[in-house]
Structure 1
Amino acid sequence: MRVVADIPNPHVKITLHSYNGKYILKLEKANLEQLYKIEETEVMGDEGAKALIDEEFIEGVLNRFQDMRDIFVSTVRRNG
């Protein structure tokens, strides 16, 4: 897997990778991560993949991270 770019963002760490005909968009916050796999044919190169990361996408990602955290905290409380 090749790192294509580290994409600056104040809320999450974003890394764009290239692997086996796909771009892999990796977003990290604290101990959680989200991966999005994009066929290279679906976007116009590295810049096309980066262009997917707009404000609305980041807002959705942050909401998903909050949901992930809440679910994990709940299971730890029930089972810890």
Structure 2
Amino acid sequence: MRIIAEIPHHDFRITIFGWNNKYLIKFEKGSYEQTYKVSEMDVAGDEEIKKLLEDKGFVDSVISRFLEMNKSLNAALNRLDGQH
């Protein structure tokens, strides 16, 4: 696996990897991660995969998903705590 780019963002860390004829776009925020796999056949190269990260709707959905992940984990931990 090779690192293609690390994209600066104020809400999370973004790393793009190349692996097995796919691009992996990894978003990291605290203890949470989201990874998207995109076939190299679906984009015209490294620069186009980076352009995907300029899509506001996509990035906004990543932010929402991080919030939902945190909410889900906290709810599960609260339920677990209530069992003791």
> Into which bin does the TM-score normalised by the smaller protein fall?
over 0.9
RMSD: 0.7
What do the CA deviations read for 1:7-33 (whole angstroms, capped 9, x no partner)? 111111000000000000000111000
Q: Could you tell me how far apart the structure 1 residues matched to 2:24 and 2:38 are?
A: 6
Q: SS at 2:26's partner residue?
A: strand
- In structure 1, give the amino acid aligned to 2:31: N
Q: How many Å apart are 1:70 and its aligned residue?
A: 0.2
Q: Could you tell me how far apart the structure 1 residues matched to 2:2 and 2:61 are?
A: 26
Q: Do structure 1's residue 49 and structure 2's residue 55 form an aligned pair?
A: no
Identity of aligned residues (%): 39
Q: Could you tell me how far apart the structure 1 residues matched to 2:77 and 2:59 are?
A: 27
Aligned to 1:58: 59
Aligned to 1:21: 21
Q: SS at 1:50's partner residue?
A: helix
Aligned to 2:4: 4
Aligned to 1:69: 70
Q: What TM-score do you get using the length of structure 1 for normalisation?
A: 0.96
Q: Could you tell me how far apart the structure 2 residues matched to 1:57 and 1:10 are?
A: 15
Q: How many Å apart are 1:68 and its aligned residue?
A: 0.4
Question: Which blocks of at least 5 consecutive residues in structure 2 are unaligned?
Answer: none
- In structure 2, give the amino acid aligned to 1:63: S
Q: How many Å apart are 1:62 and its aligned residue?
A: 0.3
Larger RCO, structure (CA 8 Å, separation 6 or more): 1
Q: Do structure 1's residue 33 and structure 2's residue 33 form an aligned pair?
A: yes
Structure possessing the higher radius of gyration over alpha carbons: 2
